[in-house]
Amino acid sequence: MNAIELFDQTTLECSRLITQRYSTSFTLGIKTLAKKFHLPIYAVYGFVRYADEIVDTFHDQDKAGLLARFKKDTFEAIEIKLSLNPVLHAFQLIVNQYQIDLDLIEAFLHSMEMDLDYQLYNDSKYQEYIYGSAEVVGLMCLKIFVEGDQAMYDRLRDPACKLGAAFQKVNFLRDIKSDFEERGRVYFPGVDFEAFDKSAKILIEEDIQKDFDDSLVGIEALPDGAKLGVKVAYLYYQKLFDKIKGLPAETITQERIRIPNSKKITLLLGTYFGSKLGIN
């Protein structure tokens, strides 16, 4: 391994560490992908995670300035194929290798900018945010999974967007308390946090379930090396969603709903062996 290869590999390993520290469920899901996809998906997660940290964590800093610098550094890294920021270097490696569309990255970073400015979302801003914060991340992953097969990418694009939207909306519902109390945000259009009730919750749940249902055809059509990992993520979020659906609205506004790590591992193993045995 020469010096450049060592540098590249080290930055990719940094993204793996970031993923492992920040997301148990995402790390478990990645382990069920074909090994060739592990580091590329870690690189995407590391990039997304650090952008999100800028807007959600560093409250005593100039977040707009930090995000603008991060955005500039991102596109510069992609252009010159180098960054001394290990997260951005790992990300540019994958963007250039898999030809991830720059407009997906632009849309994602725009959604992060929206988090600096918006507290209440109307329908159009909600859809714009969902696309930028979640759907395009799914499309970045899809670009990796299809390995240059543009026809497959075009065919699976819509289901991938639906799955990303479902995941994000479940996150919004799970985090509705912290988003409002810590950041002053309510993502769901027309929802008053102080008056959040059963009827509002049911409407949101119906919308999420439709996204889940519409995504299934895409999961089944994924390449074998990606299908199991995406299915694990789907089942994890569906299980989390089912748990949320079984709770009253007032509980959702009082606590963050979680699935214990032991159950995540059980779900992972069940899905893995079920797949091997041909059990859905």
Q: Based on the number of CB atoms within 10 Å of its own CB, is 47 exposed (0-12), middle (13-18) or buried (19 or more)? A: buried
Q: Which two tokens stand for residue 115?
A: 């988090």
**Percent of residues in the chain assigned helix, strand, coil, to nearest 5:** 80, 0, 20
pLDDT of the chain along its 280 residues, tens only? 899 999 999 999 999 999 999 988 788 788 889 999 999 999 999 999 999 999 989 989 999 999 999 999 999 999 999 999 999 999 999 999 999 999 999 999 999 999 888 666 777 889 999 999 999 999 999 999 999 999 999 999 999 999 999 999 999 999 998 888 887 888 898 888 888 999 999 999 999 999 999 999 999 999 999 998 898 889 888 988 999 999 999 998 888 877 666 666 666 666 555 555 454 4
Give the integer Cα–Cα distance in Å for 177 and 249.
11
Look at residue 277 in the predicted model and tell me its pLDDT: 47
pLDDT of residue 184: 80
pTM of the model as a whole: 0.90
Angstrom CA distances, 21 to 42, 49, 229, stand at 12, 11, 19
Please tell me the number of Cα atoms within 13 Å of 49 on its side-chain side. 19
What SS3 state is found at 57? Answer: coil
Q: Please spell the DSSP secondary structure of 144-186, one letter per residue.
A: HHHTT-HHHHHHHHHHHHHHHHHHHHHHHHHTHHHHHHHH--B
Q: How far is CA 200 from CA 64, 130, 182, 250, in A?
A: 33, 19, 22, 11
Query: Where is 270: in which H helix or E strand?
Result: helix 261-276
* AA letter at 142: L
- Decide if 253 contacts 191 (C-beta within 8 A): no
CATH of 3-276, one of 3.30.379.10, 3.40.190.10, 1.10.600.10, 3.20.20.70: 1.10.600.10
Concatenated DSSP letters of 70-139? HHHHHHHHHHHT--SSHHHHHHHHHHHHHT--HHHHHHHHHHHHHHHH-SB--HHHHHHHHIIIIIHHHH
DSSP state for residue 260 in the 8-state scheme: -
- Phi and psi at residue 168, to the nearest 5°: -65, -40
Q: Which residues contact 59 (CB under 8 A, 6 or more apart)?
A: none
